[in-house]
A and B are shown apart, each in its own frame.
Chain A
Amino acid sequence: MLETRDLHAAYGQTRVLEGIDLTVGDGEVVIVIGPNGHGKTTLLRTISGLMAPTSGEVWFAGARVDGRSPDLIATDGLVHIPQGDLPFGDMTVEENLVLGAFPASDWRGRGQRLEHVYGIFPVLGERRGQRARTLSGGERRMLALGRGLMREARMLMIDEPSLGLAPVIVNEVYRHIGTIMRSGVTMLLVEENFSHVHDLDARILLLESGRIVREGTVAELEADEAVMATYLGT
C-alpha cells in the first residue's frame, strides 16, 4: 500500500530524514517509535505531501506520489490525522466532521458516515453544535480521529495520538484505535512512548536521527533489553 525509498527531507539546512525505506502492506499495521525531534512527524508530513522530500520516492496505492499536492494524495484515500489535531476552531464539531468527507465520492455518503462516527464517539454527537475550539484536549483528539473516519480510507496515518493527554484519556483513545485497527484498515502510526502500543498487534520500527535503526514485533523488541533500555527508556 505504501512504500518509501531512500526518503530524505529537511527544514532549510537542517536535515531531518536521512534515507527512510519503509513499506506498509495491505491491511498491515506499522508503528514507528522514536524520541521527539527525530523525524516522526516529518515522515508523515512528507508522505502525505504537506512537505516535499529533498530526495527519494513515495509510492502509495501503486502510484508515485512525491511531488503531488496533498489534496490529491488525500483524495486517493490517504487519511493523515496530524499532530496537534488541527481542528477548524471556529466551526462546529459537525462542520469539522462533514469537511472530513470533502472528496466528491465521500461527500454523498456523509450523512451515513456522520452517524457511524457519532456511534463510535458519542461525545462528538453530544457536542455536535459546539465550536471545535471549546473542546477539551481529549475531545479534540476524538474529533481528529472522527474527522479521519469520515472518508473511505485506503490507509490511515496517525501522528502521536497520546500527545498532551492525561493517561486515562490516552487509554480511551487507544481503545478506539484498537477498534479501528480490528476493522482491517491499513495503518501507519507514530508514537513516542512504547508503553501505549505494546498491546497492539503490529510491526514496530524504531526511528532515530532520521533513520530506521531497528525493526521487529512488539514481543521481539520487548525481549531485547538493550533496545528497551536505549530507545524506550524503560
Chain B
Amino acid sequence: MRSFFQAVVSGLVTGSLYALMTVGMTLIYGTLRTLNMALGAMVLVGGYVSWMLFSGLGWGPLAGLAGAAAVTFAFGVVIQQVAVRPLIGKTGVDFEMTAFISTFAVAIVFANVALEIYGARNKAVPPVVEGRLHLIEGVSVSWHQVVMAGVAIVMLVALGIFLSKTRYGLGISAVAQQLDAARLMGIPVQRVYNLTMGVSSALAGIAGVLLASVFFVSPNAGDLPLLKALIVAIFGGLGSVRGTIVAAYIIGLLEAMISLYFGVKWSLPVLFVVIMIVLLIRPTGLFGKPEEARL
C-alpha cells in the first residue's frame, strides 16, 4: 500500500510536468493546426540556460526559470517567423506536414548547435531546494519534486486565466475556434501566432529548467520530453487544453503504476499498447472532437 501511494505521488508530479510541456503543443495545434516538433528543443534550451546561469553566475534554478522563460519565448517567436510563417497560405503546400518537417529540422539544428557549443558531456544542475518532504510513514517526495509540481500547476492556472480573461488570451482562443471571424474582429492573426509560439516555447523552457535538476542537461535532453508530449497530446485529443491536462495526469499515473508493478523498463511499451487501444476505440483521442475548433 505504501508503494502504491508513493507511485501515486510520483505519478502526479510527472503528470504536472507532462501537462506543462504538452499544453504548448495543444495551443499550437489549436491555432496553427500543425505539430511543433521544436518544442523538445525548448526543453533543451531551458536546461542549458539554467546550467549557464548556475555555473557562470552562480545563480540558482529560480533565476533559471525566469531566464529560460524569456530566452525560449524569444526563440519561439523566431522559429515561428523563420520556420513556420513562410509556409502559411502557400497554395499547393500541405501546411500541416511541411511545418511539422520544418520544425523538426529546427529541433535537429538546436541539438547539434548544443553539441557544438557545450559538447556531449552531461551538465548537472542542482535542485531548486534540497531535502525530502515526508507525507506519511514510508511515503516521501523530494522538495524539488514538490517545487516542480507547484511551478507546473501555477503556470497552468496562470495560462488558463490568460486564455479566458485577457484580451490577447481570448484572441488566441478566437483564432483557434473561428479564424475568419477572428480576422473580422480585428485580431492580428500573425501576432497571435507569434504569441502562441512564444508562450508554448516558454512553458517548455520552464519544464526544461525543472527537468534539468532531475536528469542532466545534454544535447539530446529534448528528445524524450518531445516524445512524451506527443504521446500525451495525441492521447488527450489534439487541441483540447483541458483534455491535454487530464491526459497528462493519466499518463503520469499510468507510468508510475506500470513501473511499480512491472518495472521501469515496461513503462514505455505498456504505455504504447494502452494508447493504441484507446486510439482504436476513440481515434480522436480521449477528449478530441472530430474536425472541430477545440480550444
| A residues with CB within 8 A of B | 48-50, 69-72, 74-75, 79-80, 82, 86-91, 95, 98-100, 102-103, 107, 147, 151
Contact = CB atoms under 8 A, between A and B. Distances in A.
Contact of A98 (B170, B178, B183): B170
A102 B183 contact: no
Interface residues of B, number: 23
A70 B184 contact: yes
Contacts of A147: 185
Interface string B177-216: 1101111111111100000000000000000000000000
10 contacts: A69-B183, A70-B183, A74-B185, A86-B180, A88-B178, A89-B292, A90-B177, A99-B174, A99-B182, A102-B167
* Secondary structure class of chain A's binding surface, majority of residues: loop
Contacts of B164: 95
Contact of A89 (B167, B178, B185, B187): B178
B139 to A, nearest CB: 39
B67 interface: no
Contact of A50 (B177, B180, B190, B294): B180
Contact of A71 (B177, B188, B295): B188
B184 A90 contact: no
Given A98-B170, A99-B171, A89 B186 contact: no
B6 interface: no
A82 B187 contact: no
Contacts of A90: 173, 177, 293-295
Contacts of B187: 71, 99, 102
A70 B186 CA distance: 7
A89 B186 CA distance: 18
Q: Which 8 A-B pairs have the closest CB atoms?
A: A74-B186, A86-B181, A70-B183, A75-B186, A103-B186, A88-B177, A102-B185, A71-B188
A70 B182 CA distance: 10
- Of B181, B184, B190, B294, which is in contact with the most chain A CB atoms at under 10 Å from its CB? B184
Given A98-B170, A99-B170, A91 B185 contact: no
A82 B294 CA distance: 21
